Amino acid sequence: MNKIDKANMEALDRINSAEPELVDIKYAYEVLPGMDKSVIGHAGPPIEWENMCGPLKGAVLGAILYEGLAGDLAEAEKLVLNGKIRFVSNHSMGAVGPMTGMITYSMPLYEVRNKTYGNTAYTTFNEGLGKVLRFGSNGPEVLERLKWFEHVLAPALKKAIALSGPISLKVIISKALAMGDEMHQRNIAASLLFAREIMPYLVEAVDDKAELRKIIEFITGNEQLFLNLAMAAGKCTMDPVKNIEHCSIVTAMSRNGTNFGIQVSALGDTWFEAPVLMPKGLYFAGFSEKDANPDIGDSAICETFGIGGVAMGSSPAVVRFVGAKSVQEALDYSREMEEISVGKSTNYIIPNMEFQGTATGIDIRKVVETGIAPVINTGLAHKLPGVGQIGAGIVRAPIDCFVKALYAFAEYEQSLE
């Protein structure tokens, strides 16, 4: 075993020993470094306005309206063009968000702590399906829901979590894998397990019955509610894997709708980027590939720590939704990911693959050597701002990210000789 293999085993151990727990609700302005009213956090590696795709631009304008910085979309765009808005990659603030990934000053965030290593990660509340900011919608109903999160849902959840104490996300993810979720495009079991955990304390925390009913309806009516929590679990699992000397394990994969970026342990916070690919999948009635935006979102953190597309074998029910042909194909995806990973999860188990752990610890060397790129299950956004989700599918990480990272890693290794 050489020094790189040893470092990668250390990374695998850190991933497997992580204990992500939901511990609190905080507002972005309280916890995110450098956050102020002019900052907009977005998914993926850093990007400026002129290079943003349609849904991301739509979401940015909606986020400006949400913060009350402009009265209408035209005024919001003027602020951007005059350089009054600063765009920041969520990952650089210790946070993640699905699809466009908008995080702004007043937004409430789940605070997820890795009990083993003491680090925290933050993520937004999932808005549900239909017209939502994360898919680039920015109409009044979208902003109204976000304000309800800020003023009603967040304080209620904060009180409930204070009453319940930390909620283990690792336990929920493990159970949900055995109940047919892969936690990227299917979170039905995980969302209900989370609801089961939080509900008794919400009943205690909220006095107004009408308000409580609305909160419960929102939580139980959103099948993707848990996605954001799974992502924060991934972020706080992978952050302690950063900066291990000689380590060639991928610590983040993320997309801004224009470029796909990866980060590699030994190479710190540097992004290695390539143009995003177009997912293959199933479209809702009336839509096709010509309407779709290419791959977008921080949610590929799921695949980075061993769930989502990597765990597709555990989720026969997601197969058709993401456009795979058969359950066998889903099992094949999970097996194929073993070829580019250094080990298996000791926590996230696939029952119908003889209780094997999911492939864990993507090694850039293995990706380049085999030509097998990580597989990602994803939602499909319309390419125009404001339309929303139009389907779901499967996409690969572009191999060029890994080739660029490998060249940099080789230079880094040489510099240490």
Token pair for residue 356?
A: 């094997």
Q: Does the protein bind another protein through residue 415 (CB under 8 A)?
A: no
Q: How many CB atoms lie within 10 A of CB 385?
A: 25
Phi, psi for 111 (deg, rounded to 5)? -105, 120
Q: Does the protein bind another protein through residue 328 (CB under 8 A)?
A: no
Q: Report, in Å, the least distance between residue 368 CB and another protein.
A: 5
Distances (CA, A) of 13 to 6, 115, 127, 204, 346: 11, 15, 34, 39, 10
Q: Does the protein bind another protein through residue 144 (CB under 8 A)?
A: no
Q: Does the protein bind another protein through residue 248 (CB under 8 A)?
A: yes
Q: Report, in Å, the least distance between residue 248 CB and another protein.
A: 7
CB nearer to another protein: pick between 73 and 403? 403
CB nearer to another protein: pick between 327 and 403? 403
CB nearer to another protein: pick between 141 and 411? 411
Which of 150, 289, 291, 413 is in the footprint of another protein by CB under 8 A? 413
Token pair for residue 71?
A: 């009265």
Q: Does the protein bind another protein through residue 407 (CB under 8 A)?
A: yes
CB nearer to another protein: pick between 3 and 320? 3
Cβ atoms of residues 238 and 230 within 8 Å: no
Q: Report, in Å, the least distance between residue 338 CB and another protein.
A: 15
CB nearer to another protein: pick between 179 and 403? 403
Q: Does the protein bind another protein through residue 403 (CB under 8 A)?
A: yes
Q: Report, in Å, the least distance between residue 369 CB and another protein.
A: 5
Stretch that binds another protein, among 53-61, 147-155, 384-392, 406-414 (CB under 8 A): 406-414
Q: Does the protein bind another protein through residue 318 (CB under 8 A)?
A: no
CA dihedral 2, 7, 9, 13 (to 10 degrees): 160
Token pair for residue 280?
A: 């293959």
Q: Which of residues 338-377 bind another protein (CB under 8 A)?
A: 365, 368-371
Distance between CA atoms of 144 and 136, rounded to whole angstroms? Answer: 15
Q: Report, in Å, the least distance between residue 407 CB and another protein.
A: 7
CB nearer to another protein: pick between 216 and 399? 399
How big is the site for another protein, counted in residues (CB under 8 A)?
Answer: 14
Stretch that binds another protein, among 82-90, 97-105, 163-171, 402-410 (CB under 8 A): 402-410
Q: Report, in Å, the least distance between residue 410 CB and another protein.
A: 5
Q: Does the protein bind another protein through residue 245 (CB under 8 A)?
A: no
Q: Report, in Å, the least distance between residue 337 CB and another protein.
A: 16
CB nearer to another protein: pick between 23 and 403? 403
Stretch that binds another protein, among 76-84, 222-230, 317-325, 407-415 (CB under 8 A): 407-415
CB nearer to another protein: pick between 82 and 414? 414
CB nearer to another protein: pick between 218 and 409? 409
Q: Does the protein bind another protein through residue 410 (CB under 8 A)?
A: yes
CB nearer to another protein: pick between 105 and 402? 402
Q: Which residues bind another protein (CB under 8 A)?
A: 2, 4, 248, 365, 368-371, 403, 406-407, 409-410, 413
